[in-house]
């Protein structure tokens, strides 16, 4: 039984902070850690204003959120209660993660120890509710939270074996933020189950075929609705997706793309943008195929990989990914350097705003200062992914019965 006090506490924390410190939203929205051109609250407000007054949404080159999201947020922003919506959405995410920890499905309970189940679920919920990265991301008004809700809903519904709902949820995630549509690949493995399988057997499964059909249909419906909402124009495709995929706006963020491309000769930029996108995609299928017996590992690793390699990540993405790690309780004993990974992430979180301030506000630093911290973010996230990969392989090698005393250097 889920303790509903935890999701309620999650929402109340965000609600109280937003109410007591109303200026904090705008301060966070001006940071490179919680805001990008494709997720910022200012961009959302601009889009809602243009939509309400019947202006073209994308002529000014400021709005990069899809039309359906803007239409959904319009009544909340008009009444000035959008901070309540954000708090409720985060409460739902917290509840869904707790439900995943409480799931009886073998795909989701395989990594959790059986004893003290209730307390484990409560702790997992508290870790999300009190995570400063998710708290601050919600308060900042970033549209990342809606993508996160769609992704958590994908896992929540598939844990209940609701194929229709989970397929629609992953389509929504892809509609809101382009790259999460790649999560449909590990989702198909979750739909198929943990039985031994090959790529051909996955595609021949009737539930998998149904899921693919639902995702494609949902995306098509969303695009047609967007066409109607944006004044019978396809401009939203360029501003919401093509510019995202091609890194159309070179704004500093905590990702790996921005510094690389501002330093590169223009003639090489198109080629390397394609390379970066291929590199991002190239790990999703191998993760899914290798961890066919533990598809939850494939899904979470794919989510972490997208967070690490996409062009416009935020700390809200990092906090959301880290919130799923407690689901891998049995793997913790296999991890080789969790302390190092945690210290790397903590080091970057503390120093990146300071280095950004030195560079942008004081002018006593330069872009190298801030980019050094983004490399530490990447190193910390990379070490976490490597640790989970190794631990998952060891768990599989031990046939689901962990033996932490066994020393193995290579599998």
Tell me the per-residue pLDDT of 60-74, one tens digit each, with 9 for 90 and over.
Answer: 888 999 999 999 999
pLDDT at 80: 87
What gap in Å lies between CA 21 and CA 83, rounded to an integer? 12
**Burial class, 195, CB count within 10 angstroms (exposed 0-12 / middle 13-18 / buried 19+):** exposed
Residue 283 binned pLDDT confidence (cut-offs 50, 70, 90): very high
pLDDT of amino acid 202:
62
Say if residues 66 and 143 touch (Cβ distance below 8 Å): no
Q: What is the pLDDT of residue 265?
A: 84
Residues 201-231: tens digit of each pLDDT? 666 678 888 999 999 999 999 999 999 998 8
Which pLDDT band holds residue 267 (cuts at 50, 70, 90)?
Answer: confident
Q: How much is the average pLDDT of 49-63? A: 87
Which residue carries 């979470």 as its tokens?
A: 300
Q: What is the pLDDT at residue 251?
A: 87
Paired tokens of 266:
């223009």
pLDDT band at 114 (very low <50, low <70, confident <90, very high): low
> What pLDDT sits at residue 200?
58
Looking up tokens 């066994």, which residue turns up?
406
The answer to whether residue 115 scores a pLDDT higher than 80 is no
- Distance, CA of 147 to chain centre: 7
Q: Which residue has the higher pLDDT, 170 or 118?
A: 170
133 phi/psi in degrees, rounded to 5: -70, -45
pTM: 0.94
Reading phi first (left if > 0) and then psi (alpha if -120 to 50, else beta), residue 353 is in alpha
**Residue 333 reports pLDDT greater than 90:** no
- Calculate the average pLDDT of the chain: 89
The three state secondary structure string of 314-363 is CHHHHHHHHCCHHHHHHHHHHCCCHHHHHHHHHHHHHHHHHHHHHHHHHC
Over pLDDT 70: what percentage of the chain? 95
- How far apart are alpha carbons 67 and 47 in whole angstroms? 8
Which residues are CB-neighbours of 49 under 8 A, at least 6 positions away? none
CA 136, CA 126: separation in Å to the nearest integer? 16
366 vs 197, which has greater pLDDT?
A: 366
pLDDT range class, residue 198, cuts 50, 70, 90: low
- Quote the tokens at residue 256: 């790996």
Closest CA to 39 of 381, 316, 347: 316
Structure tokens at 364: 């006593």
Above 80 in pLDDT, residue 403? no
Among 70-79, 172-181, 361-370, name the one with the lowest average pLDDT. Answer: 361-370
361 token code pair: 């506000």
For residue 390, is pLDDT > 60?
Answer: yes
How would residue 305 be classed by pLDDT, with cut points 50, 70 and 90?
very high
179 has a pLDDT exceeding 90: yes
pLDDT at residue 116 tops 70: no
- What whole-number distance in Å separates Cα of residue 233 and Cα of residue 231? 5
pLDDT reported for residue 107: 84
Q: What is the pLDDT of residues 134-153, one digit of tens each?
A: 999 999 999 999 999 999 99
């Amino acid at each position: 039984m889920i303790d509903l006090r935890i999701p309620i506490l999650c929402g109340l924390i965000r609600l109280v902070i937003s109410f007591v410190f109303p200026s904090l939203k705008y301060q966070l929205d001006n940071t490179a850690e919680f805001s990008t051109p494709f997720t910022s609250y200012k961009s959302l407000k601009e889009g809602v204003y243009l939509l309400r007054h019947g202006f073209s949404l994308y002529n000014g080159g400021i709005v990069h959120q899809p039309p359906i999201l803007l239409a959904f947020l319009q009544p909340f922003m008009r009444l000035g209660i959008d901070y309540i919506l954000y708090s409720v959405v985060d409460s739902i995410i917290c509840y869904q993660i707790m439900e995943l920890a409480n799931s009886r499905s073998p795909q989701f309970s395989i990594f959790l120890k059986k004893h003290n189940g209730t307390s484990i679920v409560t702790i997992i919920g508290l870790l999300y509710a009190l995570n400063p990265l998710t708290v601050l991301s919600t308060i900042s008004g970033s549209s990342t939270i809606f993508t996160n809700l769609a992704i958590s809903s994908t896992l929540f519904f598939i844990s209940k074996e609701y194929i229709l709902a989970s397929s629609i949820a992953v389509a929504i995630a892809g509609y809101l933020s382009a790259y999460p549509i790649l999560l449909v690949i590990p989702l198909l493995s979750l739909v198929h189950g943990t039985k031994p399988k090959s790529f051909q057997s996955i595609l021949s499964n009737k539930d998998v075929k149904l899921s693919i059909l639902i995702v494609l249909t949902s995306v098509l419906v969303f695009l047609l609705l967007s066409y109607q909402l944006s004044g019978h124009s396809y401009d939203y495709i360029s501003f919401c997706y093509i510019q995202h995929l091609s890194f159309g706006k070179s704004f500093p963020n905590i990702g790996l793309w921005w510094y690389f491309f501002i330093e590169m000769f223009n003639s090489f930029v198109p080629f390397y943008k394609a390379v970066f996108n291929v590199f991002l995609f190239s790990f999703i299928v191998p993760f899914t195929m290798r961890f066919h017996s533990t598809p939850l590992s494939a899904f979470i690793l794919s989510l972490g990989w997208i967070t690490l390699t996409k062009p416009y990540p935020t700390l809200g993405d990092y906090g959301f990914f880290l919130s799923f790690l407690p689901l891998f309780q049995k793997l913790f004993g296999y991890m080789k350097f969790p302390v190092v990974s945690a210290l790397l992430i903590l080091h970057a979180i503390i120093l990146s705003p300071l280095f950004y301030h030195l560079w942008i506000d004081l002018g006593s630093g330069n872009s190298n200062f801030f980019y050094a911290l983004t490399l530490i973010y990447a190193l910390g996230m990379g070490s976490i992914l490597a640790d989970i990969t190794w631990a998952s392989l060891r768990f599989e090698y031990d046939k689901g019965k962990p033996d932490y005393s066994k020393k193995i250097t290579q599998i």
